[in-house]
Chains A and B, each alone.
Chain A
Amino acid sequence: MELLDRYLEAVRKQLPWDRQDDIINELRANLEAQLEDKQEEVGHTLTAEEAKAWVGQLPAPRMMAARYRPQQALIGPALFPTYWTIVRMLTPWLFVLAMIEGAVRLATHAWSAAALPEAILNGIWIVLANIAAVTLVFVVIEYAGVHYPGRFPQIAKVIGKWDLNDLPKIGPVKGYRQRTFGAAVFDAALHALVLAWVLLLPKYPVLILGPGVYAVNALPYTYAPILLDFYWAIVVLNAVQLVWKVVDLDTGAWAGERKVQHFAIKLMGMIPLVILLRAPGHMWILFKDPAAEFDKYGAQLAQINQAIYLGLRILLAIVVVTFVLEIGKWWLESYRRSVKSAARAR
């Protein structure tokens, strides 16, 4: 029957090449015997339609062929738990490495519209390439263990080994610890002191520079006007924080986790950094008397400002990435808590 021949040919193509003839010959004999029985049952040679229906009810050729192949897994069930544990432990560190690499890349290369997407893509590549390398190592171990069990008996031994000392300790659940009203009041009072100190800095720079203020005053440098904008941004940020804390004390919100406030303050905290980065000509330190000092200290000043620019960019990159990671972690914890609550409610 032509349909049966075509079916067997479709199965043959998916069989291991060295066993194709043997398997197909056997399969043909079995299926032809089956066909004979069918024809005996209906009392005649199958018509075209009947043949189609009969062949159609056989298993799909790829399914028939698949069961003749040995079970294949890149990393089998014995090794997979170890592999997965390693990938889960490694991935956060790979992300940190990718972030540092991205921050340095952003800081050391000329800024362009493509710089950030490139840094992100490069970071993703670092993570994926390393996970692929770990996967490859485990695939090789699996292959050696399956195909050469006599040569690598240690593989099975290592997988089965475990140590009592590696068992996790049982302790209190990590999470938000509620603070007392006294602690909240102390926090607000301290913040008020910090704000007062910040407000005093322009008149009394010794409060931040200490005795070094005299050495700084002797230098031929002064700060650029942008630093004043930066200063007032810090003042406003601290004032907003203080007001928020006082309102929390009044409304009772001081007792809660205050995650939204925490993230809002962190986001606002980036504003002073951005203000600094927008300094005209990327100059934060200027000469007191440019005409007199430029020849002597011009190159030095350029280096100082360049170093400040590099440092600010790296700092901003780290702050942004840390913020994103923190938000991600908080979201994941909230999601897991909500799933567990829903499960308990059911």
Chain B
Amino acid sequence: MTVAENQFENLRLELRRGCLTLAVLGQLRQEHYGYTLRKALASRGLEIDESTLYPLLRRLESQGLLTSEWREEEKRNKRFYRLSVEGQAVFTRLLEEWGAINAAIENIL
């Protein structure tokens, strides 16, 4: 990778990092477990690495934005996540913030 490509990759990752939390909170308005969440996001155009998504779910849960429970499904124990009440409130505010940023970028461009 050239220096310029490396630089672009770093900036691209920074840009994505900011959007991932919003995308995950948005998708978890419906209940998912890790793999189905990953598939759902990928089908909507957002590919996320396992090593990014699964720890992110844990972190959002530790911050009180998600709730989780273990359930057996298809003979396998899976941990299902969904938005908590606080998570819903934070998601709404983040969405507004996202809208404002989007509008600002549109104006600049």
Distance between Cα atoms of A31 and B33 in the complex (Å): 11
Least distance between A119 CB and chain B CB atoms (Å)? 44
- CB of B49 within 8 A of chain A? yes
Q: List chain A residues, Cβ under 8 A from B55.
A: 64, 67-68
- CB of A27 within 8 A of chain B? yes
The answer to whether B79 and A26 have CB atoms under 8 Å apart is yes
Least distance between B73 CB and chain A CB atoms (Å)? 9
The answer to whether B52 and A67 have CB atoms under 8 Å apart is yes
The answer to whether B35 and A33 have CB atoms under 8 Å apart is yes
Q: List chain A residues, Cβ under 8 A from B35.
A: 29-31, 33-34, 37
Q: Given A68-B55, A68-B58, A30–B77 Cβ distance below 8 Å?
A: no
- CB of B29 within 8 A of chain A? no
Distance between Cα atoms of A23 and B34 in the complex (Å): 12
Least distance between B107 CB and chain A CB atoms (Å)? 31
- CB of A25 within 8 A of chain B? yes
Q: List chain B residues, Cβ under 8 A from A59.
A: 49-51
Chain A stretch 230-245: residues in CB contact (< 8 A) with chain B: none
Q: List chain B residues, Cβ under 8 A from A33.
A: 33, 35-36, 76, 78
- CB of A58 within 8 A of chain B? yes
Distance between Cα atoms of A29 and B57 in the complex (Å): 15
Least distance between B69 CB and chain A CB atoms (Å)? 12
Q: Given A23-B58, A67-B55, A68-B58, A29–B49 Cβ distance below 8 Å?
A: no
Least distance between A285 CB and chain B CB atoms (Å)? 68
Distance between Cα atoms of A78 and B50 in the complex (Å): 30
Chain B stretch 73-93: residues in CB contact (< 8 A) with chain A: 76-79
Q: Given A29-B34, A30-B33, A30-B34, A64–B51 Cβ distance below 8 Å?
A: yes
Residue of B36, B38, B51 with most partner-chain A CB within 10 A:
B51
Distance between Cα atoms of A248 and B94 in the complex (Å): 72
Chain A residue, CB-CB nearest to B36:
A33
Q: Given A23-B58, A68-B55, A68-B58, A29–B50 Cβ distance below 8 Å?
A: no
- CB of A63 within 8 A of chain B? yes
- CB of A187 within 8 A of chain B? no
Chain B residue, CB-CB nearest to A29:
B78
The answer to whether A64 and B50 have CB atoms under 8 Å apart is yes
Chain B residue, CB-CB nearest to A70:
B59
Least distance between A172 CB and chain B CB atoms (Å)? 38
Least distance between B67 CB and chain A CB atoms (Å)? 15
Q: List chain B residues, Cβ under 8 A from A67.
A: 51-52, 54-56
Q: List chain A residues, Cβ under 8 A from B50.
A: 30-31, 34, 58-59, 64
- CB of A229 within 8 A of chain B? no
Least distance between A91 CB and chain B CB atoms (Å)? 31
Q: List chain B residues, Cβ under 8 A from A37.
A: 35, 39
Interface residues as binary, B1-44 with A (CB distance below 8 Å gives 1, 0 otherwise): 00000000000000000000000000000000111101100000
- CB of A326 within 8 A of chain B? no
The answer to whether A30 and B54 have CB atoms under 8 Å apart is yes
Chain A stretch 14-35: residues in CB contact (< 8 A) with chain B: 23, 25-27, 29-34
Q: List chain A residues, Cβ under 8 A from B58.
A: 23, 68
Residue of A29, A34, A63 with most partner-chain B CB within 10 A:
A29
The answer to whether A63 and B51 have CB atoms under 8 Å apart is yes
Least distance between A24 CB and chain B CB atoms (Å)? 11
Distance between Cα atoms of A67 and B53 in the complex (Å): 9
Q: List chain B residues, Cβ under 8 A from A30.
A: 33-35, 38, 50, 54, 78
Given contacts A64-B55, A67-B54, 16 further A-B contacts (CB under 8 A): A25-B77, A26-B34, A26-B54, A29-B33, A29-B34, A29-B77, A30-B34, A33-B33, A33-B76, A34-B50, A37-B35, A37-B39, A58-B50, A59-B50, A59-B51, A67-B55
Q: Can you report 29 A-B residue pairs in the complex whose CB atoms are below 8 A from each other?
A: A23-B58, A26-B34, A26-B78, A27-B34, A27-B54, A29-B76, A29-B79, A30-B33, A30-B34, A30-B50, A31-B35, A33-B33, A33-B36, A33-B78, A34-B35, A34-B50, A37-B35, A37-B39, A59-B49, A59-B50, A59-B51, A64-B51, A64-B55, A67-B51, A67-B52, A67-B55, A67-B56, A68-B55, A68-B58
